Amino acid sequence: MIVTFATGTLPVSRWQNGRGETREICCVGEPGQPFVWRASIATVAGDGAFSRYPGIDRTIVLLSGAPFWLRGDGIAHRLTLHAPWTFSGERALCAEAVSAPGLDFNLMTRRGQADGEVTLQQQSVALASAGVALVLGGRWQTPGGTLTEQQGLCWQRGASGELRPESPDARLLLAIIRLSRDR
């Protein structure tokens, strides 16, 4: 199954710790059970603690706004535009030196049930396993039609097709999810 989305139409909810907002792209899991994997776009408006998620591996990518620091638990990582960074959800991290509101993409996978990889693409890629694609620039042809900046798609197992750039400025954030039961 393939679902397309536009970031501006995604529902907004509060972070788990109540200190920010998120727009959920998709959340995959069994009803009444914790998610297996989840993708969202969060607003980081100022300094503060990130929500902790025990048993979850996270990848974050700054989509817009100024770079800022993620610090805590012996970590000092500067989050810069379009550079994926993976960390353990148990980590007690705080955003520091946030000089202006920005957006970041978040991929969360439940350890032992799924893992994910987030990359930036400018060339054609085939849909694999499950995942999320978000257009960062230009136009992309997808199984769901042509998508432009701030549009994307989410797919589950069994989806097929290809994501192809249609313009010279085409850039795509691609998150590929591998479920443990499929390995």
Contacts of 129 (CB under 8 A, 6+ apart): 157, 176, 177, 178, 179, 182
Task: Tell me: pLDDT of 158 over 90.
Answer: no
The count of domains in the chain is 2
Give yes or no: residues 118 and 106 share one domain.
no
Domain boundary among 110, 139, 154: 110
pTM, rounded to two decimals: 0.93
Burial class (CB within 10 angstroms; exposed 0-12, middle 13-18, buried 19+) of 165: buried
Give yes or no: residues 100 and 163 share one domain.
no
pLDDT at 182: 64
The answer to whether position 4 is within a domain reads: no
Give yes or no: residues 106 and 21 share one domain.
yes
Give yes or no: residues 20 and 84 share one domain.
yes
CATH code for position 29: 2.60.120.10
Give yes or no: residues 155 and 168 share one domain.
yes
For residues 3-10, average pLDDT: 94
Q: What would the pLDDT profile of 72-113 be if each residue is shown by its tens digit?
A: 989 999 999 999 999 999 999 999 999 988 999 999 999 999
The whole domain housing 33 covers 10-110
The answer to whether position 33 is within a domain reads: yes
